[in-house]
Structure 1
């Protein structure tokens, strides 16, 4: 590559790095955010879920807007949104405000990411350098995934989780400057492009209602009329989505693609591989902090076996795809991830960090063998002219199901840990109201509400309660991984169903 192309690739890598640190880094802040806003895990999970959902639902539109108006222009608009929303996260006065700012961040990222990929694929280098350029951009993102937890750990060690979002501001400014100075304006754009806003809106509301219902189930009661009505409306919207897709001009899911068996299978393979990884990224740092008593920075280092494997594997998997083929990679990847997820359930609690280390490594390795290859397989299942659309759809599916997995796992975790906490308190002879148990369950003991509950107890009772809370969290996390194990195991079945011969001979 010439000097100009190298500089542009570095600029795109910096942009990718900023996207990468935001996703994993924010997860490490969950306990600190709980303390700051007096919240529990069912509420703070939205810091991850809302970002993933809005990122996913904006990405396809962001790519098409880039085609229509220029990738450089839409990238700069996305960076401006991301910069502004990062400032909002920094000054957020309450959890609802922070969640709204994270949604806006997701919209910005959804504009940035597809345009970054498109710019790298079409404008930076010669065609023979395209694979290298895309690999380097991906390396920027995965490097951000590794360093994100460390940056957030340092922010918390300095006494303020909000400092993490200043890193977003810095990288957004650098990325915007490089885009303005180093990336040339595009003069030719696609015409006649249409965006499926109706389909995006219906699918987004369906997922949002489902996530909100899973969040509120423990408070409203799982058989309450408002909750059942919420789930019913969500189900109606999910049912309505494919019918709307048949009527719009350029749907997210073309009917002819959905009639393609191999495409349906590969789309499913893009879904189920994220369940264990997303749940692990949310719960392992909390386990290290709430049960093992580690600091945020120590837990960031403890998470390295997962994040480093995800980073290295996402680059290596492209080479493995050609050598071994998608079916073999996906089957072994899903099997390893299933075993890793199940190990969290079956390993004894007294092992401490070594209770989660084997599962962490296997989940990371399983994701390595499935995330990239499943996306590539989906692209191979359709005509070449639909590759861009399917690439966006596969990543959208990936993120949406990841958000749903976290919500389902958290709902299960909260119910299981609350039940376990009640039994352990009763066994210890401590009489505590259900309301106080809910305050302590799934959160930290440093919130204002938790401190008020703990003030009612004697020193001896406080120690017993702390042991009960740690045990309850461990029990709840294990039940969350029961869900993940079942979810990931579906991918094993889908991988066995995949027909490689038909995959590479598709006519649809």
Structure 2
């Protein structure tokens, strides 16, 4: 016991770094696939209708299992849950790379989504409770934010490199050695937390309701892009998912040991931070998706060249998240930096809405991308810090799962809505006789303006509802200086 305690106190940063590497691997995988889809379709003979399920088969279980996985981390120990998720994710990645047909790849992606949810659900909670001192905790959360945002921005580049040089299989195979290293090092580095224990009771009915409700909701959202928002299928499945989620809320109000204690939402900081993150991620997915399409379909970049176009964005996010944001948040407070960052994100999206058909990367995309990286690098650590500061350490796992859930649902719903708006505008311009490039660019303009609206809504919510004062029981942002880890160790 003394040895474990000493290790946790003396070297908390290896824990943070390892967790951030795991988060980046999972986020990379979510974005690396998009660039490789044409190669996957050609290699396995995917139909156009089924190709979308290479992405959706991962997103559906991922979004549905985050709350349950986060709660399991609180009960049986976050280290155990994290390492189990990494093992499953890595094994499923190998199966994806070995897939010889549509069914095999879709099934393996489903398993990969389960592993990704189990692994990532506890990461933010573990990162946020590593330090109690304000500046160190801000640095740790900033590193997590970089892992998430940087992984998303670097995904298209890495996907293009692997697909062109080694083949699409390697976008999955690359996870195996990284996952193996994470498990081996994590078994030694991560402090062993006891958890509350399953003897306290697990709300299996609540888990079933939220798991099926969330998975059905995510499925309905991603399927609505094909079936249509007003289609009977979408309305039926959407109503059923909302009914299941309403049943989950009712269950949490009466359960002796609820999966998601509703008292958490008494914290205005936690509730508002999740709303802000939902809206921010809804817009950011539009940046990654439609920015890539603009470079490839309008400026005629290849997959590798288009991926390289996001490198400056990733570098700015890294520089801001890992260096500047911590100093600014410590000096001016997380709320101020959140509002500044969101304002910059709104401006970046407005700039992208003026991208030209005959545009030049250095004029029409790069300035907005750099401004986006600066804004997101400031906003993401601030909103996560504000939200997690209001949560007692013993419930950081479920809070982490909640943050990840709002991120996944926000991304799925945002991308589906933006795609529908862009498609409608593109079809209208095509019918009016515009060229393909003009019609596509017009559609992307609408998507970027809608994304700006999401970021503006996040700015309003943050300005009205968020305060820098955490609720009692959570780690205080202005806690006395200390570098000791707060994770219980055996």
Interval containing the TM-score (normalised by the shorter chain): 0.7 to 0.9
The corresponding residue for 2:227 is 217
Which residues of 2 match residues 416-495 of structure 1 at below 5 A? 416-424=425-433, 468-495=435-462
Change (3 A) 1:272 1:187: closer
After TM superposition, list the pairs within 5 Å mapping 1:237-386 onto structure 2.
237-251=244-258, 253-315=260-322, 316-353=324-361, 354-383=363-392, 385-386=394-395
Whether the 8 Å contact between 1:142 and 1:310 is mirrored in structure 2 is: yes
Offset at residue 506 of structure 1 (A): 5.8
CA distance in 1, matches of 2:42, 2:430: 20
- Superposed displacement of residue 131, structure 1: 6.8
Alpha-carbon offset, residue 274 of structure 1:
0.8
Tell whether the 8 Å contact from 1:421 to 1:469 is kept in structure 2 after alignment.
Answer: yes
Question: What RMSD in Å do the two structures reach over aligned CA positions?
Answer: 3.8
Contact 2:142 2:325 in 1 (8 A): no
Report deviation, 1:166.
Answer: 1.4
Task: Note the 1:83-98 alignment, pairs <5 A.
Answer: 83-94=90-101, 97-98=104-105
Task: Verify the 8 A CA contact 2:41 2:51 in the aligned structure 1.
Answer: yes
Contact 2:424 2:443 in 1 (8 A): yes
Q: 1:193 Cα deviation (Å)?
A: 5.4
Superposed displacement of residue 85, structure 1: 1.5
Contact 1:58 1:111 in 2 (8 A): yes
Select which of 394, 402, 410 maps to 1:401: 410
Distance between the aligned counterparts of 2:301 and 2:99, measured in 1? 26
User: Higher relative contact order by CA 8 Å / sep ≥ 6: 1 or 2?
Assistant: 2
Alignment CA distance shift 1:283-1:235 (3 Å): same
Q: Is the 8 A contact 1:348 1:355 kept in 2?
A: yes
The range that moved more, 366-375 or 204-213, is: 204-213
State the partner residue of 1:103. 110
Normalising by structure 2, report the TM-score: 0.79
1:272 Cα offset (Å): 0.8
1-structure distance, mates of 2:473, 2:76: 31
CA–CA distance in 1 between the matches of 2:473 and 2:185?
A: 42
Partners of 2:211 and 2:101 in 1: CA distance = 27
Is 1:236 paired with 2:203? no
In the alignment, is residue 190 of structure 1 matched against residue 196 of structure 2?
Answer: yes
Aligned match of 1:65 in 61, 72, 91?
72
Counterpart CA distance in 2 for 1:396 and 1:241 is 15
- CA deviation map 1:198-219 (0-9, x unaligned): 342243144234314412235x
Once the 2 structures are TM-superposed, how far is the Cα of residue 418 of structure 1 from its aligned partner?
Answer: 3.3
Q: Tell me: CA distance 1:15–1:216, structure 2 relative to 1, closer, same or farther (3 Å).
A: closer
The more displaced of 134-143 and 209-218 is 134-143
CA displacement at 1:332 relative to structure 2: 2.0
The farther-off stretch of 350-359 and 126-135 is 126-135
Contact 2:74 2:395 in 1 (8 A): no
Mapped partners of 1:406, 1:16: distance in 2: 21
* Structure 1 residue 268 displacement after superposition: 0.9
- For residues 371 and 349 of structure 1, the distance between their equivalents in structure 2, rounded to whole angstroms, comes to 31
Check the 8 A contact 1:46/1:99 in 2, yes or no. Answer: yes
Tell me the distance in 1 between the aligned counterparts of 2:126 and 2:231: 50
Aligned residue pairs, count: 460
Distance in structure 1 (CA, Å) of the matches to 2:192 and 2:354: 55
- CA shift for structure 1 position 17: 4.3
Distance 1:364 1:44 in 2: 30
Q: 1:176 to 1:380 in 2, by over 3 A?
A: closer
Q: Which stretches in structure 2 are left out of the alignment for 5+ residues?
A: 1-5, 475-490
* Structure 2 CA distance for aligned equivalents of residues 481 and 99 of structure 1: 31
Structure 1 residues not aligned, in runs of 5+: 428-467
Counterparts of 1:228 and 1:21 in 2: how far apart (Å)?
32
Sort the Cα spacing of 1:380 and 1:160 in 2 relative to 1 into closer, same or farther, 3 A.
same
CA displacement, residues 384-419 of structure 1 (integer Å, 9 cap, x when unaligned): 654443233223212221111112222333333334
Quick one: distance in 1 between partners of 2:281 and 2:140? 25
Q: Quickly say closer, same or farther: Cα 1:276–1:156, change in 2 above 3 A.
A: same
Q: How far apart, CA to CA, are the structure 2 residues paired with 1:329 and 1:96?
A: 46
Taking structure 1 as the reference length, the TM-score comes to: 0.77
Give the 3-state SS of the residue equivalent to 1:404 in structure 2: helix
Match runs of 1:71-150 below 5 Å? 71-94=78-101, 97-115=104-122, 144-145=151-152, 147-150=154-157
